Amino acid sequence: MDDIEAIKTVKATYGRAADTRNWDLLRTTITEDFTCDTGAGPTVGADAFMERVRSNPPEITTAHHALMPEIELTSPSTATGIWAVHMMARFADGRATDGFGHYFDTYEKVDGSWRLTSLRLEWLVGRGRGQPD
């Protein structure tokens, strides 16, 4: 698999693992120094990020869709990516939120596998602070 396809795969795995709450799989998609900012301020470090996502209430269902990737290899072991995003969350009481925006990612090849080193989300519509990641 070429590097661009491998980056697409790690991004897809990240979204599926988050939606299915497969925390062990999610952890394999990020680096130790991973930084994530979805609009409520950055979370720095893989442990802090994993603690944050695990704290989302279990009755919330999410669906992350990352679309139309613009991936640039910046070196043999680093890359950037911009993805259109559609994210839906449904709450136990029937409320739902629908959001659209763009992911701005960085990636690093670690021990032969691509991983996310940072993810920043810029919302266009629909998503507010305090919502699940």
How do the residues of the chain divide into helix, strand and coil, expressed in percent and rounded to 5?
25, 50, 25
pLDDT of 76 reads 97
- pLDDT mean across residues, the chain: 92
pLDDT of 84 reads 98
Looking up tokens 């299915």, which residue turns up?
A: 20
Residue 132 pLDDT > 80: no
Report field, pTM of the whole predicted structure over 0.95: no
Token couple for 107:
């990636």
Q: Band of the pLDDT at 39, cuts 50, 70, 90?
A: confident
Q: 69: alpha, beta or left, given left = phi > 0 and alpha = psi -120 to 50?
A: beta
Task: Give residue-wise pLDDT tens across range 16-27.
Answer: 999 999 999 999
Question: Domains (ranges, CATH) in the chain?
Answer: 3-125 (3.10.450.50)
50 within 8 A of 31, measured Cβ to Cβ: no
Task: Give residue-wise pLDDT tens across range 94-110.
Answer: 899 899 999 999 999 99
Report H helices in the chain: 3-20, 23-27, 46-54
Instruction: Give the separation between CA 121 and CA 82, rounded to whole angstroms.
Output: 10
Token couple for 44:
């720095």
